[in-house]
Amino acid sequence: QKEVEQDPGPLSVPEGAIVSLNCTYSNSAFQYFMWYRQYSRKGPELLMYTYSSGNKEDGRFTAQVDKSSKYISLFIRDSQPSDSATYLCAMRRGGGNKLTFGTGTQLKVEL
């Protein structure tokens, strides 16, 4: 079993929809949680960076961490075609130097 599980998709939604992307993990030592967006043939770019449990909002994006369930989510409101990309979750231990990535969920937002 992988340390971080992420549904690969593809996930197809209409423009304007609310998108929910999720990851589950097994290592309770993870304390820092990140979401990266990766466009085709580009490198991952950091979207959200959170510590421990709770919510963090940035514009149309909300990251949610539930450490008791070992579950993290990224919500995208009013989704746009420009949001079409692969979304990678990533996490690390407190003070750790190893980032563990999910395999990514491919999202397509259609007009």
Partner 1 sequence: NAGVTQTPKFQVLKTGQSMTLQCAQDMNHNSMYWYRQDPGMGLRLIYYSASEGTTDKGEVPNGYNVSRLNKREFSLRLESAAPSQTSVYFCASSETQTNSPLHFGNGTRLTVT
Is 18 a binding residue for partner 1 by CB under 8 A? The answer is: no
Cα(55)–Cα(90) distance, rounded to whole angstroms?
A: 16
Is 98 a binding residue for partner 1 by CB under 8 A? The answer is: yes
The interface with partner 1 within residues 51-90 (CB under 8 A) comprises: 88, 90
**Contacting range for partner 1; rule: CB under 8 A; set: 11-19, 58-66, 72-80, 99-107:** 99-107
Alpha-helical regions (H) of 1-111? none
- State the CB neighbour count (10 A cutoff) for residue 25: 22
Query: Among 110, 107, 109, 111, which Cα is nearest to 10's?
Result: 107
Q: Which residue in 17, 53, 70, 101 binds partner 1 (CB under 8 A)? A: 101
Is 29 a binding residue for partner 1 by CB under 8 A? The answer is: no
DSSP state for residue 36 in the 8-state scheme: E
Give the three-class secondary structure for 91: strand
Write down the least CB distance from residue 95 to partner 1, Å. Answer: 5
DSSP state for residue 77 in the 8-state scheme: S
Which residues form the interface with partner 1 (CB under 8 A)? 4, 8, 32, 34, 36, 41-46, 49, 88, 90, 92, 94-99, 101-104
